[in-house]
Amino acid sequence: MTLAEGMRGKGGASAKAASPGTALLVLPACLLVLGLLIGPMLLMFRISLNQFSPTQLMIEAFSFGNYARAAADPYYQEIILTTLGMALLCTALTLVIAFPAAYWLGRLQSRWKSLVVIATLFPLLVGNVVRSAGWMALFTREGLINTALLKAHLIGEPLTLMYTPKAVVFGIIAVVLPYMILTIASVIESIPRDLEDAAANLGASGFSQFWRVILPLSAPGVAAGSILVFVLCMNTYATAVLLGGPRFKMMAPAIFDQFVRGNNWPMGATLAFMLLAVTMSFTIFGSIAFARRYRAR
Amino acid sequence: MLAAGAPSARAASGQVVVGTWGGDYGQLLGDLIDKPLLAPKGFEVLQDVANADPRKTKLLAERQSRRGSMDVACLSDSDHYIVAATNVFEPVDAAKVSRLDKVFPELRTETAIPHIYSAQVILYNENLVKTPPTSFADLWDPKWRGRVGLADILYPANTFAAALAGGGSASNFDPAEKMLMELRSLDAKIYPSNEALAAGLKSEEVWLTTMWLARGFMWKKAGIPLAHVVPKEGAVAIVFEASVPRNARNKDGGFAYLDAMLDAKAQIAFADKMGYVPTVSDAALPEDLAKQVSLSEADRARLLKPDYKYQTERSQRTLDFWNKQFKG
Amino acid sequence: MASLMIESLTKRFGSSIAVDGLDLKVREGELVALLGPSGCGKTTTLRMVAGFLPPTSGRVLFDTEDVTRLPAHKRATGMVFQSYALFPHMTAAQNVGFGLEMRGLGGAERQTKVEEALRLVRLSHLGGRLPRELSGGQQQRVALARALVINPKLFLLDEPLSNLDAKLRAEVRVEIRALQQRLGLTTLLVTHDREEALTMADRLVVMEGGRVRQIGSPRELYDAPQDAFVADFVGRCNILSGRRENETGFRTESGLVLPVDTAPNERDNANAFALRPERIAIQPGANGDLNGAVEAVTYLGSQTEYHVRIGREVFVVIQQTPGADEPLAALKPQDQVSLAWDRKAPRLVPQTSL
């Protein structure tokens, strides 16, 4: 139920019960998810219990040894922490950057609005790799930034911009920003303008209107956007590899390493499930904490 | 991944699916082999373009299937060994590949033909490095601090070089670990790809690296002021091979393709374009080309072949050490 | 409470003009209603008074203080929105307390005032509910309490009853009016519902196209509209075009001469005859001065509406519903009737082209 309906809603819950026929409409989606997500995941889980062999790929086994080994390895502990830290940092920064834009977009009343929405989506039309290549052109020692700064005599030596965590943060934010903006904007759109006027009328300054009315009411959008972005960040691959360089480690490239470079499918599957577990537990924990703070509506 | 694998798209006889790299290599295969050699015999060649790792994974994953997606699989010698160990490939013999008798005997294997080869050498910037190194061990000289660059994806070769520099051998990588940690403390730079390493050499961010001679040849052609030395410890050979999987749908086509890859004219053209040396005795290179891409008699004597068995068994440790300790 | 003074207030949106030089004074404790069709500028005016919209030109004064440039949150007006605009994430009590909180009023004092305000609108028992758990009428009362608890200088009502059902609307109308009079609230009411305006307001401002048509008491506007638009907008009216024939008659365009005492209607440009339907008497049988045929009889409960055709004109007549045995009760379409009215009842006004 959207907020707008909630406002009107005497009978918000009395939505017509779907007829048995309409249930069939979800069938294709369900089959797809079942076949292409749940199935392979079960298979992967099975693989994660196997044992690696350099010559035979893997040996059938049934042991959680891979999990124990990965969890006890300081190397993977650090990667998980890095990944988690990056994801949390990027989500927070993205939220801060996205909110004003989302508010503006949500409140925009113009015949150009659909164009603005398309413009917001535009970065998503460019693949991650292509986009990161563009960033590389910007960040390298002979890149646009260094060339410009050198020409302007602002620096004497090229700055190291590529292959730094900072570059990855920039890169990730650029990728996930549209998701956050559009998710929040759609919720802001459903918050009646009257509420801000009412708050102002009762003496609330711009900041109080935001803090007491807009922010709590856009909480569902903030939550949805943050979860979406957090999950995307946790699974960052191309940006981490291309902008972070060989020394920067996040989970998705580490999983790729095990599967493809090491041919160690059991360990790759194990790491994948560990990533999934961390992502899911943070998402669930975060949602619960969030719902407590802003009461489930 | 299933670029060319759809069964309905394949004619019963004439189609050959070649799992290969894209880029120059794939392009040259198309220009030098597919069109001039295979097409006249009525074969239609489809390239299944991917990097080696996905191809390896695909071959391993498909090994239980009755019908695989490739008729020819191109792999490096080390990768070939790993995949061949799971009995994925058809044996190669002169009955199926008529030009096999022209192949240098030291490059022959049970289940593959050697297509082209090169050796791992030291490349250095000839403008900036006044006294060139003569061995891998020289790269550990503190005066090159911060000036040695390595390609991340070549971690097995880099590890091999470190082992040799530390007194190890093809069958003993143990010294590599200490040496790599030393190199790390000497601020060696790691680049995610060969292309990124080339850019680093070009911008003079780094001055020295270890690389296939063939790539050095290409980079020199691209205008990077590089020279090469064959290290004292020996030059590790890299052979790019091709095989026919047991579950290939068109084995005849696959072997015909392998035969064409050994064609003398095509081999010379590969040397000219990519700097890799022919693997057959009847493909003589023009003199000045030979000087740039071939090893001297003395150097060829120091050519080292990897101990594939040792290397494979140690692969997880090599990768883990590279990732966890060296890069960590 | 303050008085409100609006001086040549103008608002343009691009090339269109929403409010065009409006002048109005609302005295302390007075309830003035802005009445007009949608798009007439009444809501824009209210939003400028509340501070939600900056005027293009003109001034707004509370007492003698010029508030034209004062932001909304510093104006201390109490507004009830058409949608009520209750904060959906706050309970009724939190909604009511919001304005006090913004004024820095804390703890016990705020609590007391909130309880008082809820008691005022008889919702003491529902303070803990969220807006969506309240009926429309209850939500409306929370909105009232929320606007009043801050002790506003000005009470602003934006179509406050339009979301209520008819029966509740009549009740709340009386309730708000009583409250407004008891507390002496200076009030500006925006509505398009003439009945609401007539029953609640001390004075009415009829607006059209961004301009004031007429300002006056409900009675003045009803009985003595200045033009056909006002006559029609504040109540049902028979409006016939034509011209003054002489001192006792008005000739319609179709040539029908209607009796009217023109003395009080000394307006040169008067080209319309306006007569309220309830001021017309109807008798069965074609034996009067104005005879015609019944076209329709509509039973409305306490009243009955007749449509009577005389020549080319159709008159609407509204009478108390007759008892079952009275002669009028038997009237049906096609019956002959005669109409009559007090000569002083019709008004001759300028016709307004709409």
Tell me, what CATH number does C319's domain have? 2.40.50.140
Which residues in chain A have Cβ-Cβ distances shorter than 8 Å to B205?
141
Nearest to C102 among A3, A195, A208 (CB): A208
CB contact under 8 A, A198 and C79: yes
Give me the total of CB pairs closer than 8 Å, taking one residue from chain A and one from chain B.
Answer: 63
Question: How many other β-carbons are positioned within 10 Å of the β-carbon of residue B43?
Answer: 22
Spell out the residues 6+ positions from residue C164 whose beta carbon is closer than 8 angstroms to its own.
C136, C137, C140, C172
Chain A CB contacts of C156 below 8 Å: 201
Task: List, as ranges, residues 222-241 from A with C-beta within 8 Å of B.
Answer: 241
Task: Let me know the angle formed at the C-alpha of A200 by A199 and A202, rounded to the nearest 5 degrees.
Answer: 65
Residue A226 lies in a domain: yes
Q: Which of C223, C251, C269 is the last residue of a domain?
A: C223
- Predicted confidence at residue A16, as pLDDT, reads 53
User: Does A36 map to a domain?
Assistant: no
CB contacts, 8 Å: A3 with chain C: 88
Do the chains contact at A203 and C103, CB–CB below 8 Å? yes
Task: Establish if A224 belongs to a structural domain.
Answer: yes
Contact between B44 and B15 under an 8 Å Cβ cutoff? The reply is yes
Could you count the other beta carbons within 10 Å of the beta carbon of residue B66?
8
Check C88 against A297: CB less than 8 A apart: yes
What's the pLDDT at A9? Answer: 36
Between A13-22, A59-68, B90-99, B297-306, the lowest mean confidence (pLDDT) is in A13-22
- Any residues with CB less than 8 A from the CB of A219 and at least 6 apart, and which? A290, A293, A294
Q: Does A28 touch chain B (CB under 8 A)?
A: no
DSSP string, chain A: --HHHHHH-SSGGGPPPPPHHHHGGGHHHHHHHIIIIIHHHHHHHHHHTSEEETTTEEE----SHHHHHHHH-HHHHHHHHHHHHHHHHHHHHHHHHHHHHHHHHHH--STTHHHHHHHHHHHHHS-HHHHHHHHHHHHSTTSHHHHHHHHTTS-SS----TTSHHHHHHHHHHHHHHHHHHHHHHHHHTS-HHHHHHHHHTT--HHHIIIIIIHHHTHHHHHHHHHHHHHHHHT--HHHHHHH-TT---HHHHHHIIIIIS--HHHHHHHHHHHHHHHHHHHHHHHHHHHHHT---
Answer yes or no: do C292 and C217 share one domain.
Answer: no
Same domain, C241 and C182: no
Determine contact, residues C216/C26, Cβ cutoff 8 Å: no
The answer to whether residue C232 sits within a structural domain is no
Chain centroid to Cα C50, Å, comes to 20
Quick check: A3 contacting C, CB < 8 Å? yes
Residue A75 contacts B, CB cutoff 8 Å: yes
Count: domains in chain A: 1
- For residue A111, the domain's CATH number is 1.10.3720.10
Is the separation of the CB atoms in B256 and B38 below 8 Å? yes
In this predicted structure, what is the pLDDT of residue A67? 95
- Assess if residue C57 is contained within a domain: yes
Name the residue among A3, A201, A208 with its Cβ closest to that of C88: A3
Does C73 sit within 8 Å of A205, measured CB to CB?
A: yes
Say which of B86, B312, B327 has its CB closest to residue A247.
B327
Can you give the pLDDT at residue A156? 81
pLDDT at residue A4, rounded to an integer: 38
- A218 within some domain: yes
Pairing, β C203-208 against β C31-35: parallel
Residues C344 and C293 placed together within one structural domain of the fold: yes
For residue A295, give the nearest of C74, C82, C89 by CB distance: C89
Structure tokens at C183: 């507390």
The whole domain housing C260 covers 237-349
Interface contact A142, partner B, CB < 8 A: yes
Per-residue pLDDT of B83-104, as tens digits, reads: 998 889 999 999 999 999 999 8
Return the axis-axis angle of helices A165-189 and A219-234, rounded to nearest 10°: 150
How far is residue C71's CA from residue C334's CA, in Å, rounded to a whole number? 63
Do residue C208 and residue C319 come from a single domain?
no
- The per-residue pLDDT for B121 is 94
Residue A75 to residue B86, Cβ atoms within 8 A: no
Residue C34 — very low, low, confident or very high, per pLDDT cuts 50/70/90?
Answer: very high
Which of C108, C107, C184, C191 is closest to C151 using CA atoms?
C184
Q: What is the mean pLDDT of residues C122-126?
A: 92
Contact A203 C135 (CB under 8 A): no
- Whether B203 and chain A come into contact, CB under 8 Å, resolves to yes
- Please report whether residue A76 resides in a domain: no
User: C74 touching A, CB under 8 A?
Assistant: yes
Give the type of residue at A189. E
What pLDDT band is residue C167 in, cutting at 50, 70 and 90? confident
CB-CB neighbors (< 8 A) of B60 in chain A? 57, 263
Tell me, yes or no, whether C148 and C260 share the same domain.
no
Residue ranges of chain B with per-residue pLDDT less than 50: 1-12
- Test mutation, B184, B224, B316, B322, chain A, max A CBs within 10 A: B316
In chain A, the percentage of residues whose pLDDT exceeds 70 is 92
Q: Do B323 and A257 touch (CB under 8 A)?
A: yes
Which residues 183-202 in chain A show a CB within 8 A of chain C? 192, 194-195, 197-202
Residue C319 in tokens? 């009478």
Compute the distance between CA of residue C222 and CA of residue C242 in angstroms, rounded to an integer: 21
**pLDDT score of A297 more than 60:** no
What span, in angstroms and rounded, lies between the C-alpha atoms of B268 and B286?
9
CA distance C147 to A1: 28
- Residue A56 tokens read as 């035979």
Residue A178 maps to a domain:
yes
pLDDT score, position A260: 81
Q: What is the DSSP secondary-structure string of C277-295?
A: GGG-EEEESS-SSEEEEEE
Indicate if the pLDDT at residue C57 is higher than 90.
yes
How many CA atoms within 13 Å lie on the side-chain side of A85?
A: 12
Look at residue B5 in the predicted model and tell me its pLDDT.
41
Q: How far apart are CA B170 and CA B78, in angstroms?
A: 12
Q: Choose the mutation target among A201, A214, A217 for the interface with C, i.e. most C CBs under 10 Å.
A: A201
What pLDDT, on a 0 to 100 scale, did the predictor assign at position C335?
A: 92
Average pLDDT over residues C38-62: 95
Indicate the helix (H) or strand (E) that contains B20: strand B15-20
**Do chain B and chain C touch with ≥3 beta carbon pairs under 8 Å?**
no
Same domain, C201 and C242: no
Residues 6+ apart with CB under 8 A from B108: B100, B114
pLDDT-derived band of residue C176, with 50, 70 and 90 as boundaries?
A: very high
- Specify the range with the lowest mean pLDDT, choosing from A125-139, A201-215, C112-126, C311-325: A125-139
CA dist B250 and B38 (Å) reads 14
C169 touches A at CB < 8 Å = no
Judge whether C276 and C345 are in contact, CB under 8 Å: yes
Is residue C77 within 8 angstroms of chain A, CB to CB?
A: yes
> What's the rounded Cα separation, in Å, for the pair A216 and A293?
9
* Nearest beta carbon to residue A202 from set C51, C52, C146: C146
Nearest residue on chain C to A4, alpha-carbon basis: C88
**Three-class DSSP category at C2:** coil
Q: What is this model's ipTM?
A: 0.85
Q: End of a domain among C167, C191, C223? A: C223
Of A9, A198, A204, which has the smallest distance from its Cβ to C132's Cβ? Answer: A9
Q: Determine whether the interchain pair A202/C50 forms a contact, defined as Cβ–Cβ distance below 8 Å.
A: no
A/C interface, count of CB pairs below 8 Å: 80
Instruction: Compute the half-sphere exposure of residue B214: CA atoms within 13 Å on the CB side of its CA.
Output: 20
Residue partners of B193: CB distance under 8 A and separation at least 6: B151, B152, B153
The answer to whether residue A205 is domain-embedded is: yes
Tell me if C228 is assigned to some domain.
no
Whether chain C has a CB inside 8 Å of the CB on A222: the answer is no
Do residues A249 and B315 make contact, with C-beta atoms less than 8 angstroms apart? no
Instruction: Judge if C161 and C286 occupy the same domain.
Output: no
Contact, C52 vs A197, CB < 8 A?
Answer: yes
Q: Which residue of B has its CA nearest to A254?
A: B323
3-class DSSP state of C195: helix
Residue A19, in any domain of the structure = no
pLDDT in the model for residue A15: 46
Do both C305 and C203 map to the same domain?
no
* A-chain residues near B327 (CB < 8 A): 246-247, 249
Residue A149 has pLDDT above 90, yes or no: no
A4 touches chain C (CB under 8 A): no
* Residue that is written with structure tokens 């989506």 in the block: A121
| Alpha-carbon distances, residue A249 vs A84, A174, B154, B193 (angstroms) | 11, 19, 18, 16
Is the CB of A208 less than 8 angstroms away from the CB of C103? no
Can you name the residues that pair with B73 across neighbouring β-strands? B19, B243
Strands C187-191 and C154-158: parallel
Say if residues C316 and C275 touch (Cβ distance below 8 Å): no
- Taking the CA atoms of residue C1, residue C7, residue C13 and residue C16 in that order, the dihedral angle to the nearest 10 degrees is 130
Q: CATH number for the domain including C91? A: 3.40.50.300
Full set of structural domains in chain B with CATH: 7-117+239-294 (3.40.190.10), 118-236+303-326 (3.40.190.10)
pLDDT of residue A1: 34
Residue where a domain stops, chosen among C170, C191, C223: C223
Which residue, among B139, B131, B124, B129, has the nearest Cα to B186 in the 3D structure? B139
Burial code (b: 16+ CB inside 10 Å, e: under 16) for A242-275 equals: bbbbbebbbbbbbbbbbbbbbbbbbbbbbbbbbb
Same-domain status, C213 and C259 = no
Residue that wins the pLDDT comparison between C329 and C145: C145
Distances in whole angstroms, Cα of residue C227 to Cα of each of C31, C230, C258, C270: 23, 6, 19, 8
Alpha carbon distance A250, A248 (integer Å) = 7
A262 touches chain B (CB under 8 A): yes
Range of the domain at A87: 81-249
Check residue A225 and give its pLDDT.
94
Confidence of residue A18 (pLDDT cuts 50, 70, 90): low
With tokens 């090469």, the residue in question is B228
Q: Do C74 and A10 touch (CB under 8 A)?
A: no
Domain count across chain C: 2
Mean local confidence (pLDDT), C319-338: 89
* Residue B265: Cβ-neighbour burial (10 angstroms; 0-12, 13-18, 19+): exposed
The partner residue sitting opposite B315, judged by closest CB among A54, A56, A247, is A54
Dist. CA A269–CA A263, nearest whole Å:
11
Q: Nearest-CA residue of chain B relative to A162?
A: B191
Pairing of strands C303-310, C290-299: antiparallel
Please check whether residue C85 lies inside any domain of the structure: yes
Nearest residue in C to A198, CA atom: C85
Which residue in the block uniquely carries the two structure tokens 């695909």? B58
C and A adjacent (3 or more CB pairs under 8 angstroms): yes
Is the pLDDT reported for residue A14 higher than 60?
no
Chain A nearest C-alpha distance from C163 (Å): 10
Cα separation, C108 vs A61, in Å, equals: 68
Query: Which of chain A's residues have a Cβ under 8 Å away from the Cβ of C51?
Result: 200
Rounded Cα–Cα distance for residues C23 and B221 (Å): 85
C39, C102: one domain: yes
| SS3 sequence of B141-171 | CHHHCCCEEEEHHHHHHHHHHHHHHCCCECC
Q: Give the C-alpha separation, A201 to A194, whole Å.
A: 10
Burial of B124 (0-12, 13-18, 19+ CB in 10 A): buried
Q: What is the C-alpha to C-alpha distance for residues B165 and C354, in angstroms, rounded to an integer?
A: 99
Q: How far is CA A186 from CA A5, A174, A283, B34, C237, in A?
A: 14, 20, 21, 54, 48
| C293-310 average pLDDT score | 93
Question: Do C284 and C172 lie in a common domain?
Answer: no
Domain membership of residue C340 (yes or no) is yes
Stated pTM of the model: 0.78
Query: Subunits that touch chain B (at least 3 Cβ pairs < 8 angstroms)?
Result: A
Answer yes or no: do C214 and C251 share one domain: no
Chain B contact for A137 (CB, 8 A cutoff): no
Q: Is C287 on the interface with A (CB under 8 A)?
A: no
Choosing among C74, C83, C86, C89, which should be mutated to test the A contact, i.e. which has the most A CBs within 10 A?
C89
